[in-house]
A and B are shown apart, each in its own frame.
Chain A
C-alpha cells in the first residue's frame, strides 16, 4: 500500500508512469558498469608511495603501526605489545593465515578463538585491504572473523599485508568484487584509527565505544 503510494508520488513528480523494462535496464546499466567517479590525485600513486601515504594517514588518525618483515613475526610482536600493556589474553580470529603461525612466543598469554565478549581487552584479526587515501583498513565478516572482534575489545590488533594496500577506495571495492563476486560479505568495515567522540564540548576524547587503541601490524611482504 505504502510502497505503491510512494512510487506513485515519485513517478507523478517525475512526470512519467511506471518505467518499462527497457527504461529500467537503461538506468540499471549503471550498476553493471560500476564506473569510477572522480578519484583524487592523492590516491593515484605508485605502490611504494601508496604504502607511505597509508602509514602517514593512519598515524594521523591515531593508529599505531608496527612494521614487521614477515607474518611469522606476528606472535612475537603481539606478545611484546601485550606484555608491555600487562595483558594476558588475546581473542583472535581463526583465519588459516593466523592459525598456522607458531604462537609459542605468547608464553603465558592465552590466544583464544571466539567472538568477542564484553570485558575482552585485546583482539587480533587480519584485514582485507589497506586504503592509502585516508589510512583506512578494510575488514569483512566471515565465519573465521566475527565482527565483534573489531569493536568490543579495548585494543584491536590488525595484520595488514603491505601487498594489499591500494590507493583509492575504488580499488578496494574492485578487489572485494574480485574475491566475492556480486554478493557482498554480510559486514564490511572500513576503519580509520581508534574510536573517538567529541560530543562533550567538542573536545576530542579517544575510545568512546569501540577500541581505544588500533594497532596495525604491517607486514612488508
Chain B
C-alpha cells in the first residue's frame, strides 16, 4: 500500500468534501459508540476489567521474550511451525515460500491488518499466487481495488450503491440494492473459492503461550472456513499478541467485542492448535505461524511501549471526532485514527507520518474508551516532542512558538504583548464585537468570526482597581 500520510492535510480536505464518504461516516457515529455504551453499562465490572487488562499487558510486555519463546515451543510441540520475521519483507518472503512449497495457486484470506501492514496481497499476486479476501468488507474492497479505512469495519467508507455497483460489475448478475441479496451473492461466490484454495491465511487476535494456540475472532465465519478447508493454514500475526494462559486470553475477550462492536461476544471465537490430528477428517495438514515484528520490538522500553498493549478493537477511532470527520483513508496508511496516529510514525517514520500525531485536539475521548487504557494523547505528544527535537516541526510554527515563548517566559513583557494584542484586536473589531477577517489568522477567520476583546486586559483593569 502506497504511503499517503505526508498528504494528510490534502487528504482530509478532499474527504471533507466527499459527499458519499460523509454520508457513510454518519453510519459509524450512530452505530459503534452507541452499542459500546450499552454493552459497557451491562457489565458493571467493565472499568475493573480495563485495569486488569492494562496491568496484564504490562506484565506480558515486561516478559515478552519469555512468553514468545514459550509460545513457539508449544506450537512446535503440537506439530506446527513458527517463523520469526523482523521486517515486512521477511514476512512476505516467508509466506510466499510456504505457498510455493505446496504449489499454491489461490489463497483464501481471513481479515488481517498485519497482512495489510506487510502489503501481502500485492506481493503474492506479483509472484503468481492469487489471494482472495473472504471477509465481506475486505472482499468488497478487493473487487474495488481499494484498501480498508477502518481496522474492523474495513468498508465503512462505502455506501450501499458502491457495493451494489462493484458486485454488478464483477458478479455479472442483476443489480441489487438489498444488502441481504448482496451478502448472499458474496456467500455464493466465495463458497467455491473456500473449497478450491490451497492455502488459508488468517490473522490472530491472540497467541496463547500455555497451549501454543492462536485465536481468531469473527462474526462471519469466513475465518473458520479459511483455516479449516485448505491443506495449509498460515497465521500471520505480530509479536505483541502473545498472552500467557487461556484465562488471560479470556480477560481480553471480555473487553474486545464490547469495545469494538458493542456485542456481548463475537459470534465465532476459534482457537487453533497445530495441524490436524490423527483421525481428524478435516482441518489443515500444515500449520504455520508467521510472527511479524516490523518495528514493534524497538518500542519495548521506550515511551511508546504502552502502544503495544493495543488489542485492535477500534474503539479509539470509533469515538474520535477527527476520524469521524475525515474517515480512515485520509491517514494515508494501514492504521487510522488515534491508534494509527501513534503506530504509523513508528512503522513508516515520523518524517512521513508527522501529520498524524499532530492532527488531534487531545480531547482524550480515545483514551477514555481504550480497553487497555493506552494514553493515546500522551503518546501522540511524545511524537510531537520527537519531531520538535529532530527539527521536523514546520519552521513557521517553530519560529512562532519561539517568539511567543520569549514573552511567556518574561511576565512584564508578556503583559505588554497581551495589552498590545488586546488593543489591536479591539481596534480591528471597532464596534462590531467581532472580527470577520484577520491577517495571518485565516485558519480561524476563514470559517468563523473572531470574538473581540470586551475591554482592556484583566491585568490592566485589576491594577487600576476596576473591580
Which residues of chain B (226-273) have a CB below 8 Å from chain A?
A: 228-229, 239, 244-248, 250-251, 253-254, 261, 264-273
Given A36-B247, A152-B225, A208-B187: A184 touches B219 (CB 8 Å cut-off): no
Q: Mark B149-163, 1 if CB is under 8 A from A, else 0.
A: 000011110111001
In Å, the complex CA distance between A19 and B64 comes to: 11
Contact stretch, chosen from B205-213, B338-346, B351-359, B437-445: B205-213
Q: How far is the CB of B37 from chain A (nearest CB, A)?
A: 16
Chain B residues with CB below 8 A from A117, complex form: 195
The answer on a CB contact under 8 Å between A34 and B267 is no
Chain B residues with CB below 8 A from A211, complex form: 221
Chain B residues with CB below 8 A from A34, complex form: 210, 245-247
The answer on a CB contact under 8 Å between A210 and B301 is no
Given A37-B247, A200-B155: A208 touches B301 (CB 8 Å cut-off): no
Chain A residues with CB below 8 A from B383, complex form: none
Contact stretch, chosen from A23-31, A77-85, A96-104: A23-31
Q: Mark B71-111, 1 if CB is under 8 A from A, else 0.
A: 00000001000001110001000000000000000000000
The answer on a CB contact under 8 Å between B69 and A187 is no
Q: Mark B210-224, 1 if CB is under 8 A from A, else 0.
A: 111100000111101
Q: Mark B269-312, 1 if CB is under 8 A from A, else 0.
A: 11111111101111100000001010001111110010000000
For residue B392, CB closer than 8 A to chain A, the reply is: no
Chain A residues with CB below 8 A from B15, complex form: none
For residue B363, CB closer than 8 A to chain A, the reply is: no
Q: A12-B301, A198-B31 are in contact. List 5 more A-B contacts (CB 8 A).
A: A10-B297, A13-B302, A40-B43, A40-B254, A184-B211
Residues on B lying within 8 angstroms of A by beta carbon are 24, 27-28, 30-32, 43-45, 48-49, 52, 56, 62-70, 78, 84-86, 90, 134-137, 140, 153-156, 158-160, 163, 179-180, 182-184, 186-187, 190-192, 194-195, 209-213, 219-222, 224-225, 228-229, 239, 244-248, 250-251, 253-254, 261, 264-277, 279-283, 291, 293, 297-302, 305
A-B contact list, 20 entries, CB within 8 Å: A1-B86, A13-B298, A13-B301, A28-B66, A31-B209, A35-B245, A38-B251, A61-B265, A61-B267, A136-B265, A186-B274, A192-B267, A192-B269, A196-B267, A197-B183, A197-B219, A198-B31, A200-B182, A201-B179, A209-B222
